[in-house]
Chains A and B, each alone.
Chain A
């Protein structure tokens, strides 16, 4: 059953380039919305599916599709954001091709192919039941996103794309050696037949994913790549792709959690420092997209913190991924909306009172920043679970609580400080424009859904499913530390 739903976007990937731009956009969006509804159904019914794909030679093992609550939760964000950004691409890329002086229709065919390939590979990644299968989709998503930046990016796009490629390729390859070590110790890489992940393997997987995530230090590639990518690609890169690093660590954690448990304190401190550092960097940025890129690093610090906090922490990682995906997708699209309407305007110092000129985009941005700050959106649960996990893990330890609350406060502060800088204050004196419907409606769809997730029935569905999924995995591997 699940295979058919996953095949829809894959088939559309190859059919879309044959259609006219408008049709291909709509078809692509629908091809991601169909799995989206299936995913909600899967979460509501708490189903777990396993479907065999192919068996490989000895140390690699079986490739199968694994649909459990964790996969479904990640897929929820991927499907919705991919569908909405696909709609958004049509007017935005029209503007971009125009700016680059290229012919619209033929370029759009190429664009939609790589876009669909990129989004589909991420969707398949979270349903992979084998580390090598997972790695393959990780690399396909890297390839597609690299080509999109290479062909349509801003600035020195070739250099930036190569920088991005090299860093994330190293990240993937490091993890690959880790996977192969696991393979030679366990004789298989299928999730259900790995007994233990040894120290070196864990270290390599963790380091690789820290580059991808990214933590402080190996984050140098991210502001470049995310800022210079064409905006619809940024709106997938930043919300979806980087978080997949957390997904890989999560899968390894659910199989063999000892590494993170043993090195809990250093990882926790590293997460806090990453988050705080990137949060302060946000205040210094004057480029809208670069600012959002730094905010991504800060938000991914949350995931690192949450990993250390036991079962509730793991739930927080999942919710944080979803809320960050929703929020950051909206925000990148608002940045793109301003770029498309004001001829590449990205410099925040030249903005001010933009609410006057693009009220719809401004309202969407508010919802986006609310998502980042964890206010009245699904992000709220993420922060709640982090705090709950924190108290469970460390007891009522005032220093750790202060550290985490400080991290939350910085996120809230930079969110609304940025909102104030861009959308409020003295109007900067632009013409009011009529915004293309596809440049703002998708933002509101994501925004409304992110708010709907704090109310029943969606909130119940999501939280129950995440809880069941994590606890089930916890009982299977950790051995009964469930709450």
Chain B
């Protein structure tokens, strides 16, 4: 534990140093951010959660790289902000302390406020979009934090009324933060109007922390009342899946399709929270949720980066799209597979059915994304990002048993 704390401190110092260096030399701040992430990786090498940290650091470095494709108003500082998000995403796995979880939740969300503003090539900052985004995010954070406090308080006092209120607020806050329908208002507007490069951060890595936090908080503060409340989550999941998929099917711009696809993906993930009370399938459900978030992070980072450069290598784009559709043996299959297995096992067959209907609806638009983005040009950095993402999609050619044991390690003390 000491090593982890110490390396977190070193990484933070490096990140701040990187932000300061941006005044002098951008390359230096890029190197500092990446070095900070590598220290995070090395410090966790002996822990059980190493594969998770490895994936998160990989996504972190990818998103830092995608920020560096073009210069913007805060170039250099943005690398540090992204590295900070990646750092907190890695470290939230190790904690079971509610105050730290809440702090992580805020730290993972606040840097994106600045990122949404930026624009490249001397264009005006996207103030309208960013304001809309920030208003929603602040509301989400407040809901989430107050919900958590209610949960924690009612857990010790046994007040079920307050517990219900807290749970609903937590889920609403979570939904608003990640973009679950019907709280998804901001997603399509922001995703189609803001600059694609910061979106490759906002749409990908920032989605992991809220879910991990929600899982941990719900499990830490669980009351028997919980089993009656999970149906509420199931409804949100269904609404989110359908809104997302039908929206994406009818959207025209690639950015908007990706926005709705995020809404749908968050629906799949939040569906797993509906079976949080089932002892036997909890780990499988969480493994599915986490894997889906990682697939989403890799895929969205690559897609948004490719939008910026008007295209990327054809096979890579199709591979990522097929992974989103959920074809074996790509990673996107295993995430959906774990989610489905846990839903069926815990008795929510109807929800599994609707998930499958949605997975079929999603086929045409993912193919359309791939077709829109596939180009003959090979812009270096974007191709590298998409290539690494594709390799990540292929690591599950052998069935990922290790991921389920990883999910178990997540809740060591809970």
Interface of B is mostly: helix
Interface of A is mostly: helix
Query: Inside 8 A of A177's CB, which chain B residues have their CB?
Result: 340, 344, 349, 352-353, 356
A162:B364 contact, CB within 8 angstroms: yes
- Give the distance in Å from the alpha carbon of A169 to the alpha carbon of B322 in the complex: 12
Interface: B367 (CB within 8 A): yes
Interface: B333 (CB within 8 A): yes
Interface: A200 (CB within 8 A): yes
B328:A136 contact, CB within 8 angstroms: yes
A-B CB contacts (within 8 Å), total count: 72
Interface: B31 (CB within 8 A): no
Query: Inside 8 A of B356's CB, which chain A residues have their CB?
Result: 170, 173-174, 176-177
Query: Inside 8 A of B4's CB, which chain A residues have their CB?
Result: none
Interface: A481 (CB within 8 A): no
A57:B344 contact, CB within 8 angstroms: no
A176:B340 contact, CB within 8 angstroms: yes
Query: Inside 8 A of A150's CB, which chain B residues have their CB?
Result: 367
B327:A140 contact, CB within 8 angstroms: yes
We find that the number of chain A residues with CB closer than 8 angstroms to chain B is 31
A232 CB, nearest partner CB in chain B, Å: 21
B314 CB, nearest partner CB in chain A, Å: 10
A208 CB, nearest partner CB in chain B, Å: 10
Interface: A209 (CB within 8 A): no
A111 CB, nearest partner CB in chain B, Å: 14
**Stretch from B10-18, B39-47, B398-406 forming part of the interface with A:** B398-406
Instruction: Identify which of B329, B364, B404 contacts A140 (C-beta below 8 A).
Output: B329
A184:B404 contact, CB within 8 angstroms: no
Query: Inside 8 A of A184's CB, which chain B residues have their CB?
Result: 344-345
Interface: B284 (CB within 8 A): yes
Query: Inside 8 A of A200's CB, which chain B residues have their CB?
Result: 349
B313 CB, nearest partner CB in chain A, Å: 14
> What is the chain B residue whose CB lies nearest that of A170?
B360
B329:A173 contact, CB within 8 angstroms: no
B355 CB, nearest partner CB in chain A, Å: 9
> What is the chain B residue whose CB lies nearest that of A162?
B364
A121-148: CB near B (< 8 Å → 1, else 0) gives 0000000000010011001101100010
Instruction: Identify which of B352, B363, B401 contacts A166 (C-beta below 8 A).
Output: B363
Query: Inside 8 A of A55's CB, which chain B residues have their CB?
Result: 401
B310 CB, nearest partner CB in chain A, Å: 21
Query: Inside 8 A of B230's CB, which chain A residues have their CB?
Result: none
Interface: B359 (CB within 8 A): yes
> What is the chain A residue whose CB lies nearest that of B405?
A57
User: With A56-B399, A63-B399 in contact, do A169 and B359 touch (Cβ < 8 Å)?
Assistant: yes
Interface: B341 (CB within 8 A): yes
B400 CB, nearest partner CB in chain A, Å: 9
B327:A180 contact, CB within 8 angstroms: no
A172-185: CB near B (< 8 Å → 1, else 0) gives 01101100110110
- Give the distance in Å from the alpha carbon of A180 to the alpha carbon of B349 in the complex: 10
Interface residues of B in 325-358 (CB under 8 A from A): 325, 327-329, 333, 337, 340-341, 344-345, 349, 352-353, 356-357
B360:A173 contact, CB within 8 angstroms: yes
B360:A60 contact, CB within 8 angstroms: no
> What is the chain A residue whose CB lies nearest that of B327?
A143
> What is the chain B residue whose CB lies nearest that of A140?
B328
A233 CB, nearest partner CB in chain B, Å: 18
Query: Inside 8 A of A140's CB, which chain B residues have their CB?
Result: 327-329
B264 CB, nearest partner CB in chain A, Å: 16
- Give the distance in Å from the alpha carbon of A321 to the alpha carbon of B4 in the complex: 61
B398:A180 contact, CB within 8 angstroms: no
> What is the chain A residue whose CB lies nearest that of B329?
A136
Interface: A165 (CB within 8 A): yes
Interface: A433 (CB within 8 A): no
Interface residues of A in 175-220 (CB under 8 A from B): 176-177, 180-181, 183-184, 200
Query: Inside 8 A of A427's CB, which chain B residues have their CB?
Result: none
Additional pairs, 6, CB under 8 Å, beyond known A166-B363, A166-B364: A60-B341, A170-B356, A170-B360, A177-B344, A177-B349, A180-B344
- A sample of 10 inter-chain contacts (CB < 8 A) reads A57-B284, A57-B404, A59-B345, A136-B329, A143-B322, A147-B318, A170-B356, A174-B356, A180-B340, A184-B345
9 smallest A-B Cβ distances: which pairs? A180-B344, A136-B328, A173-B356, A184-B345, A57-B404, A170-B360, A143-B327, A139-B328, A180-B341
